[in-house]
Amino acid sequence: MTTEPFKNVLLLPQTNQLLGLYTIIRNKNTSRPDFIFYADRIIRLLVEEGLNHLPVEPQTVVTETNEKFEGVSFQGKICGVSIVRAGESMEQGVRDCCRSVRIGKILIQRDEETALPKLFYEKLPDDIANRYVFLLDPMLATGGSAIMATDVLIKRGVKPERIYFLNLICSKEGIDKYHAAFPEVTIVTGALDKGLDENKYLIPGLGDFGDRYYCI
């Protein structure tokens, strides 16, 4: 479904199952194994939703009963690109849904002198300009890292309309800032939080996703 009044934002259906999953991962008392398990379930749903919106073309196959089935096949190749480190948690969800998918990485960290995001490393497939890209980062708060990562992709020749930014939680501020820079990129998310606190953390949020996913 598309959220209103946001254009190019796909919000997962807010079912009781999804709300239950978010209740678990938002709970500060949830254990790390449970956090990983239920976050992975949401990530899988985000990837599936992204795949729902990729272009297809008609394809006819013959079944085991020698009957024709009028189906479809995907157009083009897919690449997952994670914003290191938290985005790497979403790579397996892409691999689970997309056989032999290529994975790229972009490392962006805050410059201690300027407090602004700085690109430190990128490793992307040579043919990424010809692929549909799932940009992976669990949280969209201020949008600084996502904007820089998207700029890297576009400079490598990826068309904005071929980029799908997958995240678990985002804020209105983050959406507005990101789409001000890249209005044609589609955001696929599972939750819209009410805003940011004075430290630019999502509220109600869930804390630092990377720490909760990777640290004991």
Cα–Cα distances in Å, from 196 out to 107, 109, 112, 130, 142? Answer: 23, 20, 21, 36, 8
Could you read off the pLDDT tens digit of each residue along the chain, which spans 216 residues? 555 557 899 999 999 999 999 999 999 999 999 999 999 999 999 999 999 999 999 999 999 999 999 999 988 899 999 999 899 999 999 999 998 899 999 999 876 676 577 889 999 999 999 999 999 999 999 898 999 999 999 999 999 999 999 999 999 999 999 999 999 999 999 999 999 988 888 999 999 999 999 986
- In the residue annotation, 137 being an active-site residue is answered as no
Catalytic-residue membership of 127: no
Asked if residue 69 belongs to a domain, the reply is no
Is 114 known to be catalytic? yes
Determine, yes or no, domain membership for 64.
no
Between CA 42 and CA 208 the distance in angstroms is 17
Of 110, 127, 151, 176, the catalytic one is 110
Sign of CA dihedral 19, 26, 181, 54: negative
The per-residue pLDDT for 114 is 67
Catalytic residue among 60, 63, 65, 114: 114
On the 0-12 / 13-18 / 19+ scale of CB atoms within 10 A, 196 is middle
Residues of the domain holding 20: 9-55+75-214
Report yes or no on 70 lying in a domain: no
Domain count, the chain: 1
Q: Look at residue 66 and tell me if it is in a domain.
A: no
Q: Is 83 part of a structural domain of the chain?
A: yes
Retrieve residue 79's tokens.
């690449």
The enclosing domain of 135 has a CATH number of 3.40.50.2020
Inside any domain, residue 60: no
Q: Is residue 166 part of a domain?
A: yes
Full-model pTM = 0.92
Q: Given the residues 3, 85, 96, 208, select the one marked as catalytic.
A: 208
Question: Is residue 61 assigned to a domain?
Answer: no
